[in-house]
Homo-oligomer: A and B are copies of this chain.
């Protein structure tokens, strides 16, 4: 079951267009499908489809408002991926300082 969640996550993130959408929603916050389509490099229907896949992986959340649909990123949905990665502990040690640094910056 955690298996299936991880699978949907990895598959959702396997496509660069989808990662692009997720990254943009994370960086720039909530966006309409239209706004996302303008810079996505693919057609509006394709953006909708990709968003649906991200939605099933719980990476995004949507909110209808009139004729527009606003999508927002749910970065906490990356947790299973983080869990999966902690199995491969050794390489983390090297990254530890960077991470600590990041967390410090986040606290400011």
Binary contact readout A72-108 vs B (1 if CB under 8 angstroms, 0 otherwise): 0101101101100111111111111011001100100
Task: Write the nearest CB–CB distance from A15 to chain B, whole angstroms.
Answer: 8
Q: Does A63 contact B (CB under 8 A)?
A: no
When chains A and B are docked, how far (Å) is the Cα of A93 from the Cα of B6? 20
| Contact A7/B16 with A79-B91, A92-B99, A93-B106 known, Cβ cut-off 8 Å | yes
Secondary structure dominating the interface of A: helix
How large, as a class, is the contact surface on chain A?
35 or more
Q: Which residue of B lies closest to A95 (CB)?
A: B82
Other A-B contacts than A6-B19, A85-B85, 6 sampled, CB-CB below 8 A, are A75-B91, A76-B90, A76-B91, A86-B98, A92-B102, A96-B103
